[in-house]
Amino acid sequence: MTEAIDIRGVQILPGYLDRPTQEQMAEAIRAVIRAAPLVTPVTRWGKPMSVRMTAAGAYGWISDRGGYRYAPQHPAGMAWPPIPEPVLAVWRAVSGCGRMPECCLVNWYGPDARMGLHQDRDEVDFTAPVVSISLGDDGLFRIGNVARGGSTESIWLRSGDVAVLGGAARLIHHGVDRIRPGTSTLLGAPGRLNLTLRVVR
């Protein structure tokens, strides 16, 4: 791992996970996806998002015509699988938080997927950070401000990088403009997996 990078209070830990740990985590997430298949969320207006999602933990974050919210079950009705241990280990090491995460959101970016600038603000307790783990192809991560608008800064997140959005940066706007398909050999197919860990209640 190289030194942490601070962008507007977001702590980025480049190369935090070594390759064997990334492989172990990718395998664990494949098992999560087998138990709780990826879905294409739609907005309240029925527009499909380009990122496909599932989750592990007590809650998953879902979006459908009823709006977006945390839910204790996958849209198909099953409970979310438990958060894999290697993922929890990252939280213990970097979160500085006494509570354990209740949601590991799994975002799958195919070659053309993106995620617009947004805040993570559907949780109850903003003293707990959001911890984000990148696996697979590079993703161009954009960081704005806590308030809407203003300037932004971007950084390519690579496989094994961890980002922590905590403290004054907990509610910062962030998004992913695009991925660079084929830049990682980890997943054996073009695409990017992002895991975000959150305390929900």
Residue 194 in the binding site for ligand SIN (CB under 6 A):
yes
Residue 120 in the binding site for Mn ion (CB under 5 A):
yes
Of residues 119 through 138, those in contact with ligand SIN by CB under 6 A are 132
Residues 60 and 83 sit within 8 Å (Cβ to Cβ): no
Residues 157 and 22 sit within 8 Å (Cβ to Cβ): no
Give the shortest CB-168-to-ligand SIN separation in angstroms: 18
Q: How many residues touch ligand SIN (CB under 6 A)?
A: 10
Q: Which single residue is written with the structure tokens 């783990």?
A: 133
Who's near 34: CB < 8 A, 6+ residues apart?
Answer: none
- Of the pair 74, 174, the CB lying nearest ligand SIN is at 174
- Tell me the CB-side half-sphere exposure of residue 99, using CA atoms within 13 A: 16
- Out of 52, 142, 174, 198, the only residue in the binding site for ligand SIN (CB under 6 A) is 174
Which residues contact ligand SIN by CB under 6 A?
107, 115, 132, 139, 141, 157, 174, 176, 194, 196
Residues that bind Mn ion (CB under 5 A): 120
